[in-house]
A = this chain, B = another copy of it.
């Protein structure tokens, strides 16, 4: 409501960029610092077992400050997942549109996808999200949409293009995209989610599974 000149805005922005006194709960550095600590604790203890005290200690922040930045534990966790989603799932999509034959592009996509979904960090995140999905259904849905659904969407578009170009014959884009994702993580993701496999799959295994996934996929859908 208060009137500000353009001048004022510019000055403020400049000051912020360096070292400014922030309003309570509005220092983005501190906020990030809290999230980093919280991530460590959540990831190694799970949602319920992680106490706000541990998170304070891990983040190097007083409890009072913590509650200035986040309303409560759930709020903190939602903000955390919201931040992580993007880190996790960026930088894979462009593999689909890169140069190369269909095989090469699908292979690159499958490998990126498997590598990402099977990484220790993402596995643990997925476990925690699943464990609270009953209490926080929105969180689960948003997480899924940002991850799996996003992969599926890109693939869906790719398949339609290739079908229109006559390279592939895909009667059901949704299904085919989902099949591809499943094939790419065959034998690894599920076992890792249940703790049946403790270590990340090796690069060789990822490539092997991805290659076979592409082979099977094209055996069915190649024109």
A128, A212, A213, most chain B CB atoms within 10 A = A212
A38 at interface by CB-CB < 8 Å: no
Q: Which of B44, B47, B191 interacts with A144 by CB under 8 Å?
A: B191
Interface size in chain A (residues, C-beta < 8 A) = 48
Task: Assess the B179–A216 pair: CB atoms within 8 A.
Answer: yes
A194 in contact with B129 (CB, 8 Å): yes
The answer, yes or no, to whether A149 is at the interface (CB within 8 Å) is yes
**Alpha-carbon distance A21/B208, docked complex (angstroms):** 61
Counting every copy of the chain, the complex holds 2
One of A22-30, A64-72, A160-168, A180-188 contacting the partner: A180-188
Q: Are B48 and A212 in contact (CB under 8 A)?
A: no
A60 at the interface (CB under 8 A from B): no
1/0 per residue, CB under 8 A from B, across A185-206: the answer is: 1110011011110000000000
Within 8 Å CB of A131, what residues of B? 46, 127-128, 130-131
**A212-B179, A220-B215 known; A195 vs B134 contact (CB < 8 Å):** yes
CA–CA, A182 to B143, complex, Å?
21
Q: Nearest Cβ distance between residue A52 and chain B, in whole angstroms?
A: 15
Given contacts A46-B135, A131-B127, is CB(A216)–CB(B212) below 8 Å? no
- CB-contact partner of A133 in B127, B182, B186, under 8 A: B127
Among residues of B, the one whose C-beta sits closest to the C-beta of A198 is: B137
Which chain B residues lie closer than 8 Å to A48 at the CB level? Answer: 46-49
A interface residues (Cβ-Cβ under 8 A, vs B): 44, 46-49, 124, 126-135, 137, 140-141, 143-145, 148-149, 172, 174-175, 178-179, 182-183, 185-187, 190-191, 193-196, 209, 212-213, 215-217, 219-220
Question: Which 3 residue pairs spanning A and B have beta carbons closest together?
Answer: A131-B131, A48-B48, A140-B195
Q: Would you list 10 pairs from A and B whose C-beta atoms are within 8 A, ordered by A residue?
A: A46-B134, A127-B131, A130-B130, A130-B131, A141-B196, A144-B194, A148-B190, A179-B213, A182-B183, A216-B219
